[in-house]
Structure 1
């Protein structure tokens, strides 16, 4: 039987095929049907079903290797008659379990070279590239599938996001619109286009675009559902609509799966951005922190762990100190696949976040400045990593570094001239600097609210 992408499989029953296609459609489209493969795997003896079930567990971001992933790998190894492509996918799972990500990527490229419509292989490769700041690799790997999969909306969405992460915004928008022409509900393409609009300061257009699609997002997995709402909240914040952004936090960004890593990181990020915009978030840090205590030793993905750290510290929980200690240890553990990220960049970011959370604002920039040019090594998107730029700016404003802050704020305004938080900060800065005319100009721009 062939899967929904046209790849030959060894599945022989409709139930197994349904499980395989649930994983493919769910993973590529961020649909909740992805969990279907786990139900099928409970009774299936097919190797591919167990490979995909194992990969799903590896994508669950639990902070360690889930025992269920090892069990599915064992069952896949015991299965009879895997074809050549499936054997390579099993090798991917086994290498990932062994934390050999170089071998994972090498094997995924071998799959794509022979079976370019195996978009699962493409998606996993991009997932690892993204988590490690390899934007060019995210784009380059799509070339292996370009000729064979250009008619697939999920492929165009993946290509669009890769272009965007490489700052190739015209190409990103073109690919995103190709995806949406094939399937107007392709969530990853909507996401990529939201990035383009945010980066180019097309704030009102971006808000209108996302608002037109919100009804479609209910079917999405928790991550993309909350993340698209997160992007919508950023547009609201730029327009000075703090209460709309806060309502999105309460009703959408922190209302689905509060135990999932990406939802937790997104919630931390949005709460802090709300505060940077001058919004009182009340007791939300304490509420959020209660869900982060299980992350006290999770250093598996630096981008995520840094968000856990800040959330725990802002909630005043001792697990924050425990996580900081674990990060310091990870920065010295040379045998880990994430050692370089922690050692070169992540530890300094952790110390800066700790200083800010504990209101030691004078200690933020000495940690942050030396690594500002290399933050991509921790993973995350440009929009997500901008949090650290805002953290630096907040520290400048709080410590009287007005000359630096003015330069950064005016540079930010080049992309988004009417950004309300930036203009409000400039109004205060110019007033304190004895420049009332400039303060008045900034104040007038800061009142731009639709």
Structure 2
């Protein structure tokens, strides 16, 4: 019996098909550019169910309204193919559920497969992706831990465990798992990513920047999402340190411009530009190109987390497409049929209204609507670090509306994980000044200057 690279039986004797399947498996979990090789592989071997199911799955990661129609021909071939092993049949059925839009049943399928076949890292990664998108951090960790001890030799499993721990706020466990992944393979990018989250949350800003800089060369040949996203994390550390030139260089070279049509690259650019502006960085005309590409998505409501960031880009640039996307969000929130209708109706919709209000300078509405959504934003997906964009939009509205006392409360809470951040402390200095607390204002500004001096002395 032929097996894949992790020892799971696969029904094909064609060496090119085996190679294409292995390219997909490893490319998918390692974020390497060979994963798309599965498309020509499936086209060349239409009777291989697993290869065609994997091709359908790859199309679904387009994260666009057209994805199911792109996936459908491959899914049809997978379902019609000669029956393979029991696991392959389960995989085909489970991927088919995603194409059909039944996410809860798809996750149940992933659960069954990864319980019986702990080395099926594709189904593990697929499950984590969807659990992440629904804010189920505990589920992400539970799925990943099931892979042990059977898959303990696979570095990417430890990277997935690390991210599950981090999203559950179990930071020490996350760091241990990430280090274990790197001990097996130093260039494991998802482990780098998990460590970036840990260090950001713990306020280890200088250490985080140094660490990511030390491994950044290993991201050069990864797919656009992983390369741009790890650089996005490095740029967050640069922002905290007040390193404006480094932030702009990271944005222009590694964050925007790799795959301008891809959803994740677009929202990475949107959220970074917003953060840069909130931190006082002059972004020049960078918004225009991002908004041009986002506008081409039309009324895309595939993911609440993604859509809200598209909306911010359109609103920030006063694009006429803003009202059409907002109408689509209204319609999506009114549709009670989808499994995620509550997240759209009770979280995404008020967040969208707050984002629109912010773009119009209607600070009271922005504060009220975002304030309603923020406690439940995890239901829309995204990581803690990514969802912080919405916290910053809300904070900016508080500052712009002159609510110094409320802003002070938010900023001091933020200082628990970014104690010496330059933009945070400069803003805190302004807020304390407006609150009639000059000593506290001076202390905040001194912290910012200390960080700047430390960076300049390196």
TM-score range, shorter chain: over 0.9
What SS does structure 1 have at the residue aligned with 2:419? coil
| Larger CA deviation: 102-111 vs 257-266 | 102-111
Map of 1:201 onto structure 2: 203
1:36 aligns with 2:10: no
* Runs of 4+ more than 3 Å apart: none
Give, in angstroms, the shift of residue 432 of structure 1.
Answer: 2.4
Map of 1:235 onto structure 2: 237
Q: How many angstroms apart in 2 are the aligned matches of 1:349 and 1:187? A: 31
Map of 2:293 onto structure 1: 291
The counterpart of 1:168, out of the listed 167, 170, 181, is 170
1:143 aligns with 2:145: yes
Mapping for residues 325-404 of structure 1, pairs under 5 Å:
325-404=327-406
CA RMSD, 1 decimal: 1.1
Map of 2:419 onto structure 1: 417
Map of 2:212 onto structure 1: 210
The counterpart of 1:311, out of the listed 298, 310, 313, is 313
Map of 1:300 onto structure 2: 302
Mapping for residues 113-124 of structure 1, pairs under 5 Å:
113-124=115-126
What SS does structure 2 have at the residue aligned with 1:414? coil
Map of 1:12 onto structure 2: 13
Q: How many angstroms apart in 2 are the aligned matches of 1:268 and 1:8? A: 43
Map of 2:110 onto structure 1: 108
Give, in angstroms, the shift of residue 182 of structure 1.
Answer: 0.2
Give, in angstroms, the shift of residue 192 of structure 1.
Answer: 0.2
The counterpart of 1:185, out of the listed 179, 184, 187, is 187
Map of 1:274 onto structure 2: 276
Map of 1:23 onto structure 2: 24
Q: Which runs of 5+ in 2 are unaligned?
A: none
Q: How many angstroms apart in 2 are the aligned matches of 1:134 and 1:142? A: 13
The answer (yes or no) to whether the contact 1:229–1:252 under 8 Å persists in 2 is: yes
Question: Alpha-carbon deviations, 1:98-123, whole Å to 9, x = none?
Answer: 21111101111111121110011111
Give, in angstroms, the shift of residue 336 of structure 1.
Answer: 1.8
Q: How many angstroms apart in 1 are the aligned matches of 2:65 and 2:175? A: 34
Q: How many angstroms apart in 1 are the aligned matches of 2:99 and 2:248? A: 39
What SS does structure 2 have at the residue aligned with 1:31? coil
The answer (yes or no) to whether the contact 1:296–1:320 under 8 Å persists in 2 is: no
Question: Alpha-carbon deviations, 1:212-271, whole Å to 9, x = none?
Answer: 111111111110110001000000000011221122111111120000000000100000
Q: How many angstroms apart in 1 are the aligned matches of 2:416 and 2:23? A: 44
Map of 1:82 onto structure 2: 84
The answer (yes or no) to whether the contact 2:104–2:339 under 8 Å persists in 1 is: no
The answer (yes or no) to whether the contact 2:425–2:447 under 8 Å persists in 1 is: yes
Q: How many angstroms apart in 2 are the aligned matches of 1:75 and 1:246? A: 46
Give, in angstroms, the shift of residue 371 of structure 1.
Answer: 2.2
Q: How many angstroms apart in 1 are the aligned matches of 2:29 and 2:441? A: 48
Matched residue pairs, number?
Answer: 450
Q: Which runs of 5+ in 1 are unaligned?
A: none
Map of 2:131 onto structure 1: 129
Give, in angstroms, the shift of residue 174 of structure 1.
Answer: 0.5
Map of 1:57 onto structure 2: 59
The answer (yes or no) to whether the contact 1:11–1:48 under 8 Å persists in 2 is: no
Give, in angstroms, the shift of residue 349 of structure 1.
Answer: 0.6
Q: How many angstroms apart in 1 are the aligned matches of 2:19 and 2:291? A: 38
What SS does structure 2 have at the residue aligned with 1:195? helix
| Larger CA deviation: 250-259 vs 423-432 | 423-432
Give, in angstroms, the shift of residue 64 of structure 1.
Answer: 4.0
Question: Alpha-carbon deviations, 1:373-398, whole Å to 9, x = none?
Answer: 11100000000011111111111111
The answer (yes or no) to whether the contact 2:404–2:432 under 8 Å persists in 1 is: no
Question: Alpha-carbon deviations, 1:147-181, whole Å to 9, x = none?
Answer: 21122100000000000000000100000000000
Q: How many angstroms apart in 2 are the aligned matches of 1:63 and 1:177? A: 38
The answer (yes or no) to whether the contact 1:242–1:277 under 8 Å persists in 2 is: no
The answer (yes or no) to whether the contact 1:64–1:300 under 8 Å persists in 2 is: no
Q: How many angstroms apart in 1 are the aligned matches of 2:248 and 2:65? A: 29
Q: How many angstroms apart in 1 are the aligned matches of 2:49 and 2:138? A: 33
TM-score by length of 2: 0.96
Q: How many angstroms apart in 2 are the aligned matches of 1:299 and 1:67? A: 16
Give, in angstroms, the shift of residue 337 of structure 1.
Answer: 3.0
What SS does structure 1 have at the residue aligned with 2:22? helix
| Larger CA deviation: 54-63 vs 183-192 | 54-63
Question: Alpha-carbon deviations, 1:342-400, whole Å to 9, x = none?
Answer: 11100011011111122222211110112221110000000001111111111111111
